[in-house]
Amino acid sequence: MAERSVTIGWAEGLHARPASIFVRAVTATGVPVTIAKEGGNPVNAGSMLGLLALGAQGGESVVLASDADGADAALDRLAQLVQGGLDELPAA
């Protein structure tokens, strides 16, 4: 299983607008991804409700994971998005 541990770069954490950006980015990868707070239970990273329930704040660490084909490239791109607090998924 591929994993990336990243610090959330959005000051407001994974709430509202950043969560929406992240869900769209996960969906765009075509790879099933989970996200969890360090030591917490993973949730579907493509689920807006799952992300909001996670309650991840800016500056907290989260773990992105997937065991699907293409997971490494997808997780690298998603990690850049989360860590950088970007408004869109980086180009491949």
DSSP class of residue 86 equals -
As given in the structure block, the two tokens for residue 26 are 């996960």
**In the chain, where does DSSP find H-type helix?**
16-29, 48-54, 71-84
What is the C-alpha to C-alpha distance for residues 51 and 91, in angstroms, rounded to an integer?
Answer: 23
Q: Per the residue annotation, which of 2, 3, 15, 42 is the catalytic one?
A: 15
Is 27 one of the annotated active-site residues of the chain?
Answer: no
Looking at the annotation, which residues are catalytic?
A: 15
